[in-house]
Amino acid sequence: MPGMAGKTLYDKIWDAHLVAEDAGEAILYIDLHLIHEVTTPQAFAGLRAEGRKVRRPDRTLAVADHNVPTEGQALGVDAVADEEARLQLQTLARNVADAGIEFFPMGDIRNGIVHVVGPEQGRTQPGMTIVCGDSHTSTHGAFGALAQGIGTSEVEHVLASQTLRQKKSKNMRVTVNGALSPGVTAKDMALAIIGEIGTAGGTGQVIEFAGEAVRALSMEGRMTLCNLTIEGGARAGLVAPDDKTFAYLDGKPAAPQGEAWDMAVDYWKTFFTDADAVFDREVVLDGAAIAPTVTWGTSPEDVVPITGTVPVPADFATPDKRAAVERALDYMGLTAGQPITEARIDRVFIGSCTNSRIEDLRAAAAVAQQAFLEGRLVADHVKAMVVPGSGLVKEQAEAEGLDAIFKAVGFDWREPGCSMCLGMNPDRLAPGERCASTSNRNFEGRQGRGGRTHLMSPAMAVAAAIAGHIVDVRDFL
């Protein structure tokens, strides 16, 4: 039809969930609400104060992930040493019991990081609207679901109404053409994209990821990519569903079965961007040009290829930017112009909603095994840990013998949770410690006050653990 541009994937999900419009805002139906202990107590208290009920407990799923310890989970919540964490975990258990919400408590094999659990249970499905009081909810966009992080007032709003009030964002597309080189992963792709667009580059926009290199990613890789969308400022990232998506979901506990499966797949296949759809902004990258990438500074946009050097403040155009770079170098204890591979590390953290899935652990274990066969272990001065994303990931990894490989080279093998990504539990950096981390934020103090975080892929983190400094994983392959 002339003058009628096609719709984007985001447009289609939006239109399919529009309940009403009110005072210039859309009221969007929410298909799945994931909740955890940290951002919900005030929301449930708000409902109680107003005498409101949870509208759809059946569309809500609760986990305990942010402040659970990664050792001794079998002892139960009452044994959690941190009094505030314990109270928050107990409060969640009480709130979900009162409301009749399904809950995987700490120690349950199905429990884990909320953005690992949703997909592995098959609760995350294409075309859905998904929210959670956690900014990394963008992860679920890997399935072609509109998934967004929300605040606690919005959590309360969704609990009460199963809807979210929102203005529509703009459409942005990031296309990564070509193929990634060996040793280059979804994490490197995501960091390279953030380096390109900046940490506010996606503000006010929903980003659809497209192109050969994106299509070639596994579901785990797509989750890593969408997970980091928020670090580029966009609340949601999307990858159109395809056969890989359907194959991943097939047989998952909450996935439809039999006739319902066929019906669902037909429906899911309608969620793609029309060929004639127009995006408000397009960014194109060459996948072959992406190197293993790490961060040097205190913002996820502070990226450098592993072959590169730490920036020199004088090279930046504005006084504000120069001052910011100087501050970051000072905080990180780095010298302008030094090769990034000279940064000696103290800690390694493999985990988080970004990189704690089975494929991440396999990639990490492959590097560890190679090192072990060459007689190399985690460097003497390095403390390294692996925190699987869920009890089921942990079980699968143990069935494949990955835990034995990690332990053999000197990693701690822990129980699931958010752990040292944000240091709400006992796992955190001491002041001045430098960490090779597979997590998502290198902000000042994120992993512990004064801690210095370098973001990288799981394979790169293992290579760094063995070498004792940041290193190019391709030297290990």
Partner 1 sequence: MKAFTRLDGRAAPLTLANIDTDQIIPKQFLKRVDREGLAAGLFYDFRFDEQGREKSGFVLNDPAYKNAQILITGDNFGCGSSREHAPWALQDFGIQCVISTSFADIFRGNCLNNGLLTIELKPQEVQALMAEALGGNHLFSVDLETQTVTAPSGARFSFDIDPDRKTKLLQGLDAIGETLAHAPAIDVFEMKQALGQPWMDA
Structure tokens at 19: 């309940």
Give the nearer residue to partner 1 in terms of CB position, either 259 or 374: 259
| N- to C-terminal Cα separation, the chain | 53
Give the nearer residue to partner 1 in terms of CB position, either 132 or 470: 132
Q: Is 203 near partner 1 (CB under 8 A)? A: yes
Shortest gap between Cβ of 312 and partner 1 (angstroms)? 19
Pairing of strands 205-210, 170-177: parallel
Instruction: Give CA torsion, residues 471, 473, 476, 477, to 10 deg.
Output: -160
Give the nearer residue to partner 1 in terms of CB position, either 1 or 23: 23
Return the range that interacts with partner 1 (CB under 8 A); candidates 27-35, 210-218, 390-398, 454-462.
27-35
Q: Is 190 near partner 1 (CB under 8 A)? A: no
Which of 5, 48, 58, 398 touches partner 1 by CB under 8 A? 58
Give the nearer residue to partner 1 in terms of CB position, either 150 or 455: 150
Residue with tokens 């529009």: 18
* Alpha carbons 271 and 143: distance in angstroms, whole number: 10
* Alpha carbons 285 and 330: distance in angstroms, whole number: 31
Shortest gap between Cβ of 130 and partner 1 (angstroms)? 12
Centre a 10 Å sphere on the Cβ of residue 173 and count the other Cβ atoms it contains: 24
Judge contact between 102 and 374, C-beta under 8 A.
Answer: no
Return the range that interacts with partner 1 (CB under 8 A); candidates 154-162, 333-341, 384-392, 398-406.
154-162
Judge contact between 184 and 211, C-beta under 8 A.
Answer: no
Centre a 10 Å sphere on the Cβ of residue 57 and count the other Cβ atoms it contains: 17
Residues touching partner 1, count (CB under 8 A):
74
Q: Considering only residues 133-152, where is the footprint of partner 1 by CB under 8 A?
A: 133-135, 149-152
Return the range that interacts with partner 1 (CB under 8 A); candidates 103-111, 113-121, 262-270, 358-366.
262-270
Q: Is 426 near partner 1 (CB under 8 A)? A: no
Q: Considering only residues 108-127, where is the footprint of partner 1 by CB under 8 A?
A: 125
Q: Is 446 near partner 1 (CB under 8 A)? A: yes
Q: Considering only residues 390-409, where is the footprint of partner 1 by CB under 8 A?
A: none
Which of 286, 326, 400, 444 touches partner 1 by CB under 8 A? 444
Which of 8, 70, 121, 163 touches partner 1 by CB under 8 A? 163
Backbone angles phi, psi at 177, to 5 degrees: -85, 170
* Alpha carbons 258 and 251: distance in angstroms, whole number: 10
* Alpha carbons 357 and 291: distance in angstroms, whole number: 22
Transcribe 253-284 into DSSP letters: TTS--THHHHHHHHHHTT-S--TTB--SEEEE
CA angle 435, 409, 347 (to 5 degrees): 10
Q: Which of 336, 300, 313, 311 is nearest to 454 (CA)?
A: 300
Q: Considering only residues 221-250, where is the footprint of partner 1 by CB under 8 A?
A: 230, 233-235
Return the range that interacts with partner 1 (CB under 8 A); candidates 305-313, 362-370, 380-388, 417-425.
417-425
Which of 256, 308, 313, 426 touches partner 1 by CB under 8 A? 256
Shortest gap between Cβ of 254 and partner 1 (angstroms)? 8
Q: Considering only residues 306-325, where is the footprint of partner 1 by CB under 8 A?
A: 320, 324
